[in-house]
Structure 1
């Protein structure tokens, strides 16, 4: 898996006042867990651009001013609710003899004959969670849809590997092609079910088909 180097400075103080000062200076407070003790450091917000604002998965090398380097993966990130700026990131340190859990993107390749014949491509799982030793982490899952006809699907079962565990049931559908008629009938059934409901739950049910269609249009 490709790695991104983040150059940072170890934090001497982790109090609220010091953390606020870091953010005002355009830096992001971070913590690396998993080692003998948590490593608190900060780095410029721009340093995380290629790690956060991408669909790709990467490991990280945290390079400190004193020359120390720590291999890690991003575990959690927090954004400001108004400005969407990064306000905190948690990392987990990598060790050769310890498995790590990570979300891996799915990439579709090829053209589906089912879609050419009027079917609808439904991309159900854009990321899959795996557990693996660092050396076996993959950049992405490559899924070939060039043989998918109407009614066909590709599930997790076809992506299994001895190098890692996929933390989803084998029957989980990753991508499928459905007939346009069947899709319309499903939407109509969902709408009919919503008519008898009241309140917020009914609203969510009515919006679900539209959200699904919007996602498919991006494909």
Structure 2
């Protein structure tokens, strides 16, 4: 997969790039000089959907009349706090044979019978896993089939997932990824007994009756 990038004029404000349909970016890496760039927003979002943040893409940069291909990972994405659209991207250039760390997203697929039939509640404890390995060995996504959760005690731990032994996983294999829990019963509040209310007029009337006697 390839993504075209242009050298960025650092005197130009970031919001002006975004208005023109581009996203400011930077390329860096081990023994690599930082290069300010910009990429087309639509093209980037298309690549992100296909490659994710753990697949190497070729970043094509035209420099001094030559097109250079840089093998990179989409290392970090800054999003607008309201629109959640990307406003800045970090590309990390990788070297052949260099292991890297990455956060691999978890995708939950299927439907849990324990939820649909038994009325249990699905609890997702993880949404990504940090791993380390060669770029070509990193999974794009980790799928978890929740259709196996068929009892109210069902759970899926990290050790149950199909993750390549070529990558190192930093999370404990005993960590529960997803589980079923019983719905909590609502507490029924019992109203307190009515408080005895004394009426001032009645007290005075009673006192007067005693005096008359």
- Residue number in structure 1 paired with 2:119: 118
- Residue number in structure 2 paired with 1:194: none
Instruction: Summarize deviations over 1:93-150 as a string: whole Å, max 9, x none.
Output: 1223111222222233444332222222222222222211111011221223333221
Question: What value does the CA root-mean-square deviation take over the aligned residues?
Answer: 2.8
TM-score (norm 2): 0.70
- Residue number in structure 1 paired with 2:22: 27
Gaps of 5+ in 1: 189-219
Once the 2 structures are TM-superposed, how far is the Cα of residue 81 of structure 1 from its aligned partner? 4.0
- Residue number in structure 2 paired with 1:214: none
- Residue number in structure 1 paired with 2:159: 157
- Residue number in structure 1 paired with 2:198: none
Once the 2 structures are TM-superposed, how far is the Cα of residue 34 of structure 1 from its aligned partner? 0.8
Aligned match of 2:43 in 47, 55, 63?
47
Map of 1:123-134 to 2, 5 A cutoff? 123-134=124-135
Once the 2 structures are TM-superposed, how far is the Cα of residue 71 of structure 1 from its aligned partner? 1.4
Gaps of 5+ in 2: 188-213
Aligned match of 2:182 in 176, 179, 182?
179
TM-score (norm 1): 0.68
Once the 2 structures are TM-superposed, how far is the Cα of residue 55 of structure 1 from its aligned partner? 10
Query: How many pairs align?
Result: 179
Map of 1:45-194 to 2, 5 A cutoff? 45-52=41-48, 56-57=52-53, 58-65=55-62, 66-81=66-81, 84-115=84-115, 116-148=117-149, 149-159=151-161, 160-180=163-183, 184=184
- Residue number in structure 2 paired with 1:212: none
Q: Higher helix proportion, which one?
A: 1
Once the 2 structures are TM-superposed, how far is the Cα of residue 6 of structure 1 from its aligned partner? 1.4
C-alpha change, 1:92 and 1:114, in structure 2 (3 Å) is same
- Residue number in structure 1 paired with 2:190: none
CA contact (8 A) 1:150 1:179 kept: yes
- Larger radius of gyration between Structure 1 and Structure 2: 2
Whole-angstrom distance in 1 between the partners of 2:172 and 2:58 = 32
Residue range with higher mean Cα deviation, 32-41 or 67-76 = 32-41
